[in-house]
Amino acid sequence: MKRLSAVAVLLILASTFSVAADEPKEPVNWCNEKTEWEMSVKFATERVSNGCKSCGKAVFPHLGLGYKILEDVKLSVALDAIAALEENYGRMAPCLGILYAMAEVYTIDAGYTHYFYTSASGDRQKHSNEIYGGIGIDIYLSPSLYAFYDFNNEDFSLEAKVVYEIDLGERLGQGLGMEIDGKIGYETAKKCSGQCIEGEKRNFFFYGAGVDLVYTINDKAKAKAGVAWEGNSAETHSWVNNAHRNFIWVSASVECLF
């Protein structure tokens, strides 16, 4: 645990003081036009969040609208969903957010998300409310730091992330690139699925990394395929599925703007 704590502190410090450009919260897209739609669909062999597995094979559709209300301020409305292909699990998440680009280097992001669990795999929770806030820095490794708080579960999480981009156009073909990311975070909660956790609070570190091969189709569309790994430091408790486990999965996605 002490080692994980030290790694968390080092990564957060590195994220703050590192010196390429990637937006902090996907998908975030700035444009010259006032209005911009974004759409994506992703397939993954597992759905893992904060080091914990929710379901197996799933599809993740996304639809978002960004509206520039000021030169450096963007209002966003999005709808994300999860549809498990083999299990009784589904979720829809409308989100309202606001982004502020400061000094052409920093992006400050904050918003509210409401989660509807259309089928909860036996969980008693059918909805939850979450607020989030974070900052991304448009420098080397594109560091970002985000905090989330779920009111229904009294759940707080903190996540630091870095992303490294490699242009493979000259070596493998025009439009090809690679994204390598790493993250570490901490989660603590008093409830799980809306129910009080008996005995002790839910608190653990989570960590992960991923590699994606990216093909930029044009300035409005790109496709990704890759592999990711994520794990958690939780002890074995009934409120953590697959506690103290590591997961590896593959995914493919297509993103476009219009």
The C-alpha R_g of the chain, in whole angstroms, comes to: 18
| Cross-strand pairs, 152 | none
Contact residues for 108 (Cβ-Cβ < 8 A; gap 6+): 99, 100, 102, 133, 134, 135
Please give the Cα distance from 120 to 123 (Å, whole number). Answer: 5
Contact residues for 207 (Cβ-Cβ < 8 A; gap 6+): 4, 7, 51, 183, 184, 185, 230, 231, 232
Residue whose tokens read 């609208």:
65
Distances (CA, A) of 204 to 47, 87, 133, 137, 156: 19, 26, 20, 26, 11
From first to last of its 258 residues, the chain has per-residue pLDDT tens of: 434 343 343 343 333 333 333 333 444 444 446 899 999 999 999 999 999 888 999 999 999 999 999 989 999 999 999 999 998 889 999 999 999 999 889 999 999 999 998 865 445 678 899 999 999 999 999 999 999 999 998 999 999 999 999 999 888 888 999 999 999 999 998 877 777 766 566 789 999 999 999 999 998 999 999 999 999 998 766 555 666 789 999 999 999 998
> Domain spans of the chain?
2-257
Please give the Cα distance from 182 to 186 (Å, whole number). Answer: 14
Sign of CA dihedral 205, 156, 55, 194: positive
Tell me the per-residue pLDDT of 2-47, one tens digit each, with 9 for 90 and over.
343 433 433 433 333 333 333 334 444 444 468 999 999 999 999 9
DSSP structure class, residue 71: T
3-state helix vs strand vs coil in the chain, percent to 5: 10, 60, 30
Q: Which CATH superfamily is domain 2-257 in?
A: monomeric porin ompg (2.40.160.40)
SS (H, E, C) 147-214: EEEECCCCEEEEEEEEEEEEECHHHHCCCEEEEEEEEEEEEEECEECCEECCCCCEEEEEEEEEEEEE
DSSP structure class, residue 221: E
The pTM score is 0.83
Question: For all residues of the chain together, what is the average pLDDT?
Answer: 84
